[in-house]
């Protein structure tokens, strides 16, 4: 499956934000999209990555959690700062994401997510 239409770069107030659309994906598709998206972001050799993950109507599993942890470890090793916002999240998913990155911003508004990312 081609996931490229699920990864976009949004310009908001002069800042680049990666938008990862995980909505309505099966749990086994989630880690693949994460890897594709962050590899795309790393190609630009960034100092900071801002991202929004839309997880509406998708499922997270242990593999998703492990892939996210692996990606964040790589970013830390490379000295790349990252800030993330998640939209469309359920209570259980929020616990999983919070365990991986405690600084994640949760909202159901894309606009609020974009504003928060450029302000932080």
Q: What is the pLDDT of residues 84-115, one digit of tens each?
A: 999 988 776 666 666 666 778 988 999 999 99
Whole-number percent of the chain with pLDDT over 70: 88
What's the confidence (pLDDT) of residue 103? 78
pLDDT of 45 strictly over 90: no
Q: In this structure, how many other beta carbons lie within 10 angstroms of the beta carbon of residue 86? A: 24
Quote the distance between the C-alpha of residue 107 and its chain's center.
13
The average pLDDT across 69-95 equals 86
What are the extents of the domains in the chain? 4-119
Q: 4-38: per-residue pLDDT in tens?
A: 789 999 999 999 999 999 999 888 888 888 888 88
Token representation of residue 98: 């919070």
Give the CATH class of 4-119.
alpha beta
Q: Is 112 exposed, middle or buried (0-12, 13-18, 19+ CB in 10 A)?
A: middle
pTM above 0.95, yes or no: no
Mean pLDDT, rounded, of the chain: 87
Q: Is the dihedral of CA 75, 79, 84, 90 positive or negative?
A: positive
């Amino acid at each position: 499956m081609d996931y490229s239409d699920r990864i976009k770069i949004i310009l908001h107030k002069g800042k680049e934000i990666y938008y990862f659309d995980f909505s309505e994906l099966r749990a086994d598709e989630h880690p693949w999209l994460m890897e594709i998206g962050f590899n795309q972001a790393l190609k630009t050799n960034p100092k900071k990555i801002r991202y929004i993950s839309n997880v509406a109507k998708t499922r997270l599993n242990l593999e998703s959690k492990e892939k996210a942890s692996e990606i964040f470890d790589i970013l830390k090793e490379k000295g790349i700062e990252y800030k993330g916002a998640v939209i469309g999240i359920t209570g259980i998913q929020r616990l999983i994401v919070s365990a991986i990155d405690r600084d994640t911003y949760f909202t159901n508004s894309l606009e609020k997510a974009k504003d928060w990312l450029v302000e932080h």
